[in-house]
Amino acid sequence: MEPPFLPSADLKTLQQRAQLLAVVRTFFVEHGYWECETPILSRDIVVDANLDPFELTDGGQRWFLQTSPEAGMKRLLAAGATAIFQVSRVFRRGEVGPRHNPEFTMIEWYRVGDDHFAQMEFVEQLVRAIFQTAGRELPTEPFERLTYDAAFERYAGTRVLNLPTTELIDLARSRNLNIPASLPADDRDGWLNLLLAELVEPHLGNERPQFLYDYPASQAALAVLRRAAGQPAVAERFELYVSGVELCNGYHELTDAAAFIARTKEEQAARSSRGASDLPGASLLAAALRHGTPRSSGVALGFDRLAMLALGKQTIADVLAFPVNLA
């Protein structure tokens, strides 16, 4: 039996991880970004219905370990920053598993003037640089870009953005999916997420990396919405999948303060519907948006997952020194 103090990853892997992280920093600097640091502990917290932050109280004041450095970095954009990145420890309650740890390393970045398509190109270059450093090959063809609806059509046999929730339920039942008893019949996003996870995601990124983009408007988070005549509104955001693993979220960033406040209220309502605690929101980010933030695109990438894939490991514990069970 091994001593309990040993890391879950071997020292050679941890040294390789450090090399990959050094490549990340060099890559960003060479592309005109500068590295910033924003608080991990803050009174502000961006409200996400699906993310639960760690909370502590000091002197009657609520403080939150950040689930993402987003709020602080966007305040820097409002102050005049144009191309920034951060390598940050972030924290999310309840996230434990082969690809999750409550504390993990996120690379997040923003560039003024970019849209989400420009950032897809940048992400591809970054991921290729990391895999090349690790000595692993990726297909030479460009990463595929596939809309959310087109992915459903390819892998599930039907587009879904125009389908009523009742037809989404019928689709799930016709495929004999394991439907959670707690999933309400009127939770459209819940049914879309179930179908995505069961019918689409297992296929993504297996032959070559794939970007999934143009998500349902109801899943915009803090992305810009786009409306075309006769088509459902879509969110200008993307995710990258490599070997079935989701690596990052990218957004053409919302800059409208009123829309940000409205979406925060919607996220609060969704949290309340599942019995989660109310959060104070990100008042300083709202102030930055009211002041005026430039159009930009931003990306949040899970470095532990990227290192896991690049180094040919099976779980993120294989590239962490001390995951939660050893902390």
Mean pLDDT confidence for 178-195:
94
Question: Is pLDDT at 81 greater than 90 in this prediction?
Answer: yes
Could you tell me the two tokens for 70? 């987003």
Write down the residue that tokens 């082969």 correspond to. Answer: 98
Could you tell me the two tokens for 86? 């951060």
Q: What H or E segment, with its residue span, contains residue 121?
A: helix 116-134
Mean pLDDT confidence for 301-309:
98
> For residue 293, what pLDDT is reported?
95
pLDDT in tens, 86-96: 999 999 999 89
CATH architecture of the domain covering 11-143+256-326: 2-Layer Sandwich (3.30)
pLDDT in tens, 91-129: 999 989 999 999 999 999 999 999 999 999 999 999 999
pLDDT over 90 percentage in the chain: 94
> For residue 275, what pLDDT is reported?
86
Question: Is pLDDT at 36 greater than 80 in this prediction?
Answer: yes
pLDDT in tens, 220-271: 999 999 998 888 999 999 999 999 999 999 999 999 999 999 999 999 998 9
**DSSP code string of 230-243:** TS--EEEEEEEEET
- What is the separation of C-alpha 271 from the centre of its chain, rounded to a whole number of angstroms? 18
Pairing mode, if any, of strands 41-42 and 296-302?
unpaired
Quick check: 173 and 195 in contact, CB under 8 A?
Answer: no
pTM: 0.96
pLDDT in tens, 38-76: 999 999 999 999 899 999 999 899 999 999 999 999 999
The residue ranges of DSSP E strands in 30-99, in sequence order, are 34-35, 41-42, 55-58, 61-65, 83-91
Question: Is pLDDT at 193 greater than 80 in this prediction?
Answer: yes
- Is the model more confident about 273 or about 190? 190
Question: Is pLDDT at 1 greater than 80 in this prediction?
Answer: no
Mean pLDDT confidence for 183-198:
95
pLDDT confidence of 208, banded at 50, 70, 90?
very high
Coil, helix or strand for 63?
A: strand
Total length of the chain: 327
> For residue 2, what pLDDT is reported?
78
The residue ranges of DSSP E strands in 38-102, in sequence order, are 41-42, 55-58, 61-65, 83-91
Could you tell me the two tokens for 217? 């408007």
pLDDT over 70 percentage in the chain: 100
Q: Which residues lie below 8 Å from residue 132, measured CB to CB, with a gap of 6+?
A: none
> For residue 65, what pLDDT is reported?
98
From 196, 248, 251, 244, select the one nearest 225 (Cα to Cα): 251
From 240, 245, 295, 237, select the one nearest 123 (Cα to Cα): 240
